Structure 1
């Protein structure tokens, strides 16, 4: 009789220990799963933020490039205008020099006559 009682008590203790171990394992599995899900979500959110930042940077770079191109075009236009003005001034100076030479030649001819 005592042996049966001891046997039953030992079985009950073993069952309780097994139940605690199973519960512990299930809890650990659930915690690990939750942690993995949280990490995955965090990584996905980080990647999305990085992609958004990269897109913003690309847009900024495009805007900068467009502004630089516009500035270059303006500079080229200004240079062209300056070149045209310089050419016109040179032509005017040449015409004036030619007129002066003609006047000098006329004066020399008049002086000879």
Structure 2
């Protein structure tokens, strides 16, 4: 949403419709958004879910954010996704219905499940 499609000619782009499916037919993030009521009007939901997927991968890859503690994990080690980390990393996504607390909870659910899996 922040760049023109032509700038990504030949790139592989995953949309919310192209997310891998879970056993119940939904990606775990899609299910978590449903379970946690992480949307109201649904306008921003595809972007929120795709960004959340990126946030989880980014933190798992050891990439710190502006709120990662200076004494946090060593470079390259997974960054724990606290509520503050999630809010910072998702700050570019605007929800006009203000479902932010539920969005954070949904991401926490999936990020926590990925850590314990």
* TM-score, L = length of structure 1: 0.20
Higher relative contact order (CA 8 A, sep 6+): 2
* TM-score, L = length of structure 2: 0.20
- Of Structure 1 and Structure 2, which has the larger fraction of its residues in helix? 1
